[in-house]
Structure formats: C-alpha cells, structure tokens
Amino acid sequence: MKQKRFLKWFLWLVLTAGLLAGCSQAAPALEPTVTLEDCRLEGGRQAECGIVTVPENRAEANGRQLDLAVTVLPAISNAAASDPLFLLAGGPGQGAIDTFGPFASIFREIRQTRDLVLVDQRGTGDSNPLICDSFDALPLDATEEEGFAAVAECRTVLEQKADLAHYLTATAAQDLEAVRLALGYEQISLFGVSYGTRLALEYARQYPDSVRAMILDAVTGPEMVIFQDVGRDGQAALDYMFLRCIHDAACAEQFPDLQTEYETILERLSTPQMTTFAHPFTGEKITLSVTRPLVSQIIFNLLYSPDTVSLLPLMIHQAYTENDYGTLVAQGMMSSANIEIADGLLYTIACTEDAPILDEAAVEQTDFAVITTDFLEVCELWPQQTPDPA
C-alpha cells in the first residue's frame, strides 16, 4: 500500500449475496413512526422526506438513537399498488437517496403504480454517515505509513460517534423493516444493485412474509466474497477491452499494438515515473511519482464505465509514447471524485462479513490483485466486529 491506493480507487465493486432462507424475524423494540414532509431531490424532483428513529443497538433500546433518512416518491396513479419498491444502493457505503434520487426517472414506469422508497442505510448518506475525513488530507502519493495512520485515525474518530458492531448487513435489514412498519406497508418489493442485492436477500431471510418480490441486479453467487476475485475480474475486463479494440476498425488503426503498449508501460513502472499534470478541478500543477500499483488501480476503476473505457486506449497510448501519465491519473481523480462512499461503513461490513472467509491463496495474481492485498491490510487496522444476532 505504497500510495493512497486503498482509499478511493477500488470502491466500485460488485459484492456478494447471501442465501435466501426463512428464519425467525427480529422485530424492532418499539413501533417506529415517521412524519413525511414535502421536499425536493437533487435536480428539483418533488418527493416526501422524513426520519425514522431506531436504536443503534436493539438490545439497548435506551441507548444511542439513529435517525434514518427516508425519501418517498409517491406513485403517480391514484390507484397505486399496495406494495412500494424499496431501492437499495451498493457499496457498501452508498446512500440510496443520493444514488437513486437524481435518476428516479429510470423507474418512471414502475412509479406509475407504485411508491418508490429510498432509505439511507445506517452509516451512509444522512443516516449517521461513517465517512473517513482523514483520507481527504492525504496526498496522492501518500506513503504506506501515512495511509495506515489515516485508517487508524478514521476508526478512532468514528468510534466516538458509532458502535461499529451495529452497522452490519443484518442490522441494516432490521432498519428496513422499521421503515416498512413506520410507513404502514403490509409488504414491500425490493430492488438491489451490487451490495444492495446482499441487503435485499438478508431482509428476505429475516422477514420473508414482508417481501412481495425482489429484483436483483449485478448479484454474484453466495460462494463469492468481496475482493476475492478482483484480480481475475479486472484482467478479464481489460482483456475484453483489448479484444474490442482489435475488432473495431478505427481503434485497431489508431492503436494496433495496444496490449503490447500496456505491458510495456507496466514494465516501465517497475521503477516509479514522475509526471506533472494539472489538477482536474483546481488547475493547480501537480508533480506525482506514479507507480505500477497506482496505475493498475486507476485502470481497474475506469473499466467500470463505458464512457471511461472508451478513453483508455488513447490514455494508454499517450503513456506509452510520451511516458506521460498525467491524463490517466487526472481521469482517475475525476472518476473517484464521483464515488460517494462512506469508507467506514465499507470497511466495517467487508472486514467483518468478507475478510474472514476470503481465500487469499486462491486470489488470481494479476496486477489488479493488489486491491485485495490492500483490503486485507486495511482490515488489520479495522478488526472484525461481532455481528448482531439475527
């Protein structure tokens, strides 16, 4: 973890999901309530917003209370269906309101007859967010020691405002049930994307009678754990980009040796390369020592979006021909700035639910496997919590 690799570069990941099975329900200790008021989401969309207050620790109802931010987009039709659609964000660490609110029009057909409900999971958005402010002060080329110090500082700060043992998936599912009860729905339907599929499945496991239907997008098998297959999946995405370039006439003409150029770049970066570029937001000139792991993690993130994938051939070629990595790093900075993740919640959940069962020996050793290594190093400073019984 020689640079600030583990902080923002690797957060867009598809997470695993649990098995769906019925079990006894864990009901909230008190009947929750909510008062909804008119509000506007980002972009001006009208909605109804409110707060559902729940115990941080349901075994201590008189302890710290958490305010869960809730937004409802009411069904357009007066003859609305009785079950709403709860939209569950990914990460873990993304807030549902900021994630789905600006893009609610995607669900316009469903909203004709159903309410859309957005709940910021505890530890995200406006629900006591577990954000690591100490990361913002780190330079791009922070040393390993500086990175570890920032992780430790974040944990110390967050433990002043939260008992991290109560910010796991099972407890978040109980929060969804509290919101369902507060809003007065008999049953709900769930849409989960990425980590949201894990939360949806956990909710259905605890509250099978409360679920009418589920839509799971980007779900992985229950045998998969977060960061386990980063090396394999990242390499597969990169190889596919090379293949697409070969079969695209314009790309093949402009970049006939793209894969060879990429491999040459990695060889060069065995020795750190200095590059100077303009900060993409401030315009300030930055001189940075660029390493092979840093470039690998930037490319991994850029492979997630078709828009940034389309830029990669040119950026790889520029780095190859000019030994200039400024454009690539600047694009990585812009992409990571758009990732609204509560880092503390990501570490709390993944270090407890995933790290203990991650098979390090089975990690495919591509350049992208450094992301798994960084994750496990972070978890050494973010010990496994004891999950709430569910």
Helix pair 230-246, 292-302: axis angle to 10 deg:
70
pLDDT tens digits, one per residue of 142-189: 887 888 899 999 999 999 999 999 999 999 999 999 999 999 999 999
Q: What is the pLDDT of residue 97?
A: 96
Q: Is residue 342 scored above 70 in pLDDT?
A: yes
At residue 199, the 3 state secondary structure works out as helix
Under 8 Å between Cβ of 203 and 197: no
Whole-angstrom distance, CA of residue 297 vs CA of residue 324: 17
The pTM for the full model equals 0.86
Q: What is the pLDDT of residue 141?
A: 76
Q: What is the mean pLDDT of residues 35-45?
A: 89
Q: Is the peptide bond before 92 cis (omega within 30 degrees of 0)?
A: yes
Q: Is residue 31 scored above 90 in pLDDT?
A: no
Least confident of 100-109, 204-213, 257-266, 337-346: 337-346
β-bridge mates for residue 46, sequence order: 40
Q: Is residue 7 scored above 50 in pLDDT?
A: no
Share the mean pLDDT of the chain: 88
Domain 17-130+167-217 has CATH 2.40.30.110: no
Q: Is residue 132 scored above 80 in pLDDT?
A: yes
Whole-angstrom distance, CA of residue 357 vs CA of residue 16: 12
Nearest alpha-carbon partner for 53 in 179, 170, 185: 179
DSSP class of residue 208?
Answer: G
For tokens 């969309």, the residue is 45
Pull the structure tokens for residue 306: 């078709």
Q: What is the pLDDT of residue 344?
A: 96
pLDDT tens digits, one per residue of 234-253: 999 999 999 999 999 999 99
pLDDT tens digits, one per residue of 71-86: 999 999 988 889 999 9
Note the Cα 345 to chain centre separation in Å. Answer: 10
Q: What is the pLDDT of residue 223?
A: 59
Residues of 88-104 as b/e, b for ≥16 C-beta within 10 angstroms?
A: bbbbbbbbbbbbbbeeb
Nearest alpha-carbon partner for 238 in 280, 295, 319: 295
Count CA atoms closer than 13 A to 54's CA, side-chain side. Answer: 31
Q: Identify the residue with better confidence: 62 or 39.
A: 39
DSSP class of residue 112?
Answer: T
Nearest alpha-carbon partner for 231 in 343, 375, 336, 16: 375
Domain residue limits, the chain:
17-130+167-217, 224-390
DSSP class of residue 209?
Answer: G
Whole-angstrom distance, CA of residue 266 vs CA of residue 57: 48
Q: What is the pLDDT of residue 145?
A: 85
The one-letter code for the residue type at 60 is E
- Enumerate residues 6+ apart whose C-beta is below 8 A from 202: 18, 169, 170, 172, 173, 390
Count CA atoms closer than 13 A to 13's CA, side-chain side. Answer: 30
Q: What is the pLDDT of residue 304?
A: 86
pLDDT tens digits, one per residue of 282-327: 999 999 999 998 999 899 999 988 899 999 999 999 999 999 999 9
Under 8 Å between Cβ of 92 and 345: yes
Q: What is the pLDDT of residue 169?
A: 94
Q: What is the pLDDT of residue 25?
A: 44
Q: What is the mean pLDDT of residues 53-69?
A: 93
Whole-angstrom distance, CA of residue 132 vs CA of residue 75: 37
At residue 189, the 3 state secondary structure works out as strand
Pull the structure tokens for residue 323: 């030994």
Q: Is residue 369 scored above 60 in pLDDT?
A: yes
